[in-house]
A and B are shown apart, each in its own frame.
Chain A
Amino acid sequence: MNKLGLFTAALLGTALMSGSAFAQATLSMWYHGAGNEVESKIVNQIISDFNASQSDFKVELQSFPQAAYNDSVTAGALAGNLPDILDVDGPNMPNWAWAGYMQPLKIDESKIASFLPGTKGTWNGQLYSVGLWDAAISLVTRKSYLDELGLRVPTLDQPWTKDEFMDALAKAKASGKFQNALDLGTAWTGEWYPYAFSPFLQSFGGDIVDRSTYKTAEGALNGDAAIEFGKWWQGLFTEGYAQATQDPADRDAGFNSGKYAFSWNGNWAALGSLDAYDDVLFLPAPDFGNGSKIGAASWQFGVSAKSAHPDGAAKFIDFALQDKYLAEFSNGIGLIPATASAAAMTENYKEGGKLATFFGLSEKQALVRPVTPGYVVQAKVFEKALADIANGADVEATLDAAVDEINADIEKNGGYGH
């Protein structure tokens, strides 16, 4: 370990020396988008624009495949060689900030005042990360389906209630036209579960953890609201509205080939549906009693704790937050631009654009996942609980077990600094 440390120190030393020889500091940057050509092109464009715009700093990019990115950061942190600029998935940020991987981001807050709430990563009262985009989920269906089933078109101001939603599912099932009424995307394991399904729980009035203290999940994840949610969730599968185990191919193409009446899916899949049908509707999440909710926060940029030039790193992030880059990312990979002014510059999110609904969804319904370092563990516990309930496990016992596991973890971590 010591030898390794010496070796890295020597490497770092040479890197710094060669940097000062050019009187220009090199900022290393890690990004999760390796393998995506369009994404890489835009990031590289921002970097070369930044490098050309001033002479104090030079940003160098290293890309990782998304699946290996978090592990690489953890490994990099353990070995003590994180880059200056990191990108981080929104819900993970508190974990990294708490662990000492990241430092507060020092940029002018007025600059991001107009940003969508989900793009700002705040922990312990300080801004740590900012996103150039957000993502949103909607209930995808077709106008013709709604007409045929005699259903009202819900709006942002008047979303479906729980009863209306269940009525819609029942009618879709009774019509006999669909393999299943609802495509929830249960084939997508991992972060999809807490991202897509915990907003249902929050709309019922429960939560993954008690956000007032972040010290316990008791009452939040196993209270009356949560049990009601759990029974509703189990009902979706016992009634045959949705599939507990789904063929991944059905998730990708099922709605577009007419197997499902409704699909709970993100804005990134929206263009595919628009290609398949000419009357696609992106409906807001149903209101289960405590308002319609969808998940918020996608990948964001931040500064690593060990950066020798945090000012330079912040300067780069500040530079990247220009509307034109926000718009470019949106046009390139279909994400929701962080500002309304950038949205106006995009093809799909401008007023009257095909995906403009999503901007409204992000603005009105988005709720970030629990902002706590323990979220990483809580997300896994929540995913397992939901999968088990979907497969027929006892709702109350499963939620109790999830609460116990989350509480034990919080205790084991000394309250995660809350």
Chain B
Amino acid sequence: MASKFTRSNSAGWLMAGPAAFLMALFVVVPFLFAILLSFTNQRLVSPNPTEFTGLANYQQLLGVGMITLDPERDAEGVIVREANGSPAYPRLRDLTRNNPDHPELDGLREWFSFQVGDSRTYVLARDVVFMKALGNTLVFVLIVAPVQGGLALVLALLINQKLRGINLFRAIYFMPVVVSIVVVSLLWRFIYDGNSGLLNNLLSALTFGAFPRIDWLGNPSTALGAIIAMSIWQAVGFHMVIWLSGLQTISPTLYEAASVEGASPWQTFRYVTWPGLRNTAVLVLIVITMQAFALFSQIDVMTNGGPLDATQTIVFQAVERGYGKQDISGGSTISVILFILVLSISLLQRWLTRDKR
């Protein structure tokens, strides 16, 4: 293969040339820049010279620590309790800020904490917002990848039939993909509105007013879920089309053979359709994973990462820092971390779904 690629193939290279050049200019070069800049203190706007700072950006983003606190005790050694009965602990603020006894905790903040017996363990992070963004993005990917892929397959099976007007359904399912994500996000902001949103009105009408009105995007416990649901809906049509193309490559003779053998619909799916979709499945899974990691527009339009960081994501933070806070090196570092994350997960998926024969 390699020799064919390089030898007497000038026409091929000539045709690929313009695209390859543009790809190099707008994808490869910026990518290399990002890696380079992540080791510096480069600013978007600054008269100061750029300095090489080594791994400082990575340490700042990924630094974590842990501390276990025993509850406070009064003079007799009895545990001091808060008004609600839970034990009182020394204030974290006094330990992590300007405390000469704990230099290793300086600048760390509480990420989350858990209770073991009477003592409480705090997991601290140097950049809590980034950690939350990381967590939210992973939750988003873990839910969106299987649900969107599965739903897309169901839709593809449904529309892969010879019925009158089936093209209408194909168009309807595909429509959200064609509409700009920004427009879709704006519309869903209205749908999720806490007072007079469509969703609230619908739920209220269906339950005769029993369902309480929820501010879907304004409530930390529902915001990410709302964005997940909307994102799945928006892109499901795209993956449906990929599944559909996979379905149509399966030879009809296999189905005929299956029906001659008296296979049930489930058996047909399990032993004919699914094996035939193997490569499509790998593609869909990897594409959804990569797209899900890049979650940005919905956040930017709908929540800006709020409320209480419930919808922070990696890419939103990269843009927010690089451009909003003029910290190009910080944004680049996040991008590099995202790249490594996506690459390793994609390789893992590839390995897990490899041909085992």
Q: A397-B110, A401-B109 are in contact. Are A387 and B307 (CB under 8 A)?
A: yes
Are B44 and A74 within 8 A (Cβ)? Answer: yes
Query: In whole angstroms, how far apart are the Cα atoms of A159 and B97 in the complex?
Result: 38
Instruction: Give the contacting residue for A396; candidates B41, B93, B326; CB below 8 A.
Output: B93
Q: Does B63 contact A (CB under 8 A)?
A: no
Contact A245 B194 (CB under 8 A): yes
Q: Specify which of B45, B97, B194 is in contact with A74 (CB 8 Å cutoff).
A: B45
Minimum CB–CB distance from B28 to chain A (whole Å) comes to 16
Q: A99-B46, A377-B326 are in contact. Are A387 and B93 (CB under 8 A)?
A: no
Residues 182-212 of chain B, each 1 if its beta carbon lies under 8 Å from chain A, else 0: 0000000000011110000000000000000
Cα A63 to Cα B25 in complex, Å, equals 30
Does any Cβ of B come within 8 Å of A156's Cβ?
no
A114, chain B: closest CB distance, angstroms: 33
Contact yes or no, A245 B307, CB < 8 A = yes
A91→B328 CA distance, assembly (Å)? 21
| Contact status A413-B46, CB under 8 Å | yes
Asked if B327 and A409 sit within 8 Å, CB to CB, the answer is: yes
Question: For B109, what are the chain A residues with a Cβ–Cβ distance below 8 Å?
Answer: 397, 400-401, 404
State the main secondary structure of chain A at its contact with B.
Answer: helix
- Contact flags B297-323 to A (C-beta < 8 A → 1, else 0): 000000010111100000000001001
Contact B45 A99 (CB under 8 A): yes
* B-facing residues in A402-418 (Cβ within 8 Å): 404, 408-409, 412-414, 417
B-side contacts of A71, CB under 8 Å? 323
What residues of chain B lie closer than 8 Å to A397, measured between beta carbons? 92-93, 109-110
Q: How far is the CB of B312 from chain A (nearest CB, A)?
A: 10
- A8-34 interface with B by 8 A CB criterion: none
A366 lies within 8 A of chain B by Cβ: no
B165 adjacent to chain A (CB < 8 Å): no
Is A228 engaged at the interface, CB distance under 8 Å to the other chain? no
Are the CB atoms of A404 and B307 closer together than 8 Å?
no
In the complex, the chain A residue whose C-beta lies closest to that of B310 is A391
Give the residue among A95, A96, A250, A412 with the most B Cβ atoms within 10 A. Answer: A412
Verify B218–A380 contact, CB threshold 8 A.
no
Asked if A368 CB lies within 8 Å of chain B CBs, one says: no
Q: Point out the residues of chain B lying under 8 angstroms from A392, CB to CB.
A: 308
- Chain A's nearest CB lies how many Å from the CB of B245? 39
Measured between C-beta atoms, what is the minimum distance from A397 to chain B in Å? 6
Q: Using Cβ atoms and an 8 Å threshold, which residues of chain A touch B236?
A: none
A294 → chain B closest CB, angstroms: 25
Most chain B CB inside 10 Å of its own CB: which residue of A74, A244, A245, A376: A245
Interface secondary structure of B, over-half rule: loop
Tell me the bound Cα distance from A55 to B287 in angstroms. Answer: 62
Contact with B along A80-104 (1 / 0, CB 8 A): 0000000000000001101111000
Question: Any chain A CB within 8 A of the CB of B239?
Answer: no
Expressed in whole angstroms, the minimum distance between the Cβ of B31 and any Cβ of chain A is 17
A95 cross-chain contacts in B, Cβ below 8 A? 45
- For residue B57, give the distance in angstroms from its CB to the closest CB of chain A: 10
B47 at the interface (CB under 8 A from A): yes
Contact B97 A247 (CB under 8 A): no
| Contact (Cβ within 8 A) A189 B304 | yes
B324 interface residue (CB < 8 Å to A)? yes
**In the complex where A247-B193, A397-B110 touch, is A414 in contact with B48 (Cβ < 8 A)?**
yes
105-129 of chain B: CB within 8 A of chain A: 107, 109-110, 128
Chain A residue, CB-CB nearest to B217: A245
Report which residue of B43, B306, B323 has the largest number of chain A beta carbons within 10 angstroms of its beta carbon.
B306
- Shortest C-beta distance, A252 to chain B (Å), equals 14
The contact string, 1 if C-beta is below 8 Å from chain A, for chain B 42-65, is 011111100000000000100000
Residues of A within 8 A of B196 (CB): 247
CB within 8 Å for A376 and B326 given contacts A245-B194, A388-B308 = yes
Cβ-based interface call for A393 (8 A): yes
Closest chain A residue to B189, Cβ basis: A248
- Looking at B44, B217, B307, the one whose CB has the most chain A CB atoms below 10 A away is B307
Further pairs besides A100-B47, A400-B109: 13, Cβ < 8 Å:
A74-B45, A99-B47, A101-B45, A376-B325, A376-B326, A377-B326, A380-B320, A388-B308, A388-B309, A391-B307, A391-B308, A404-B109, A413-B43
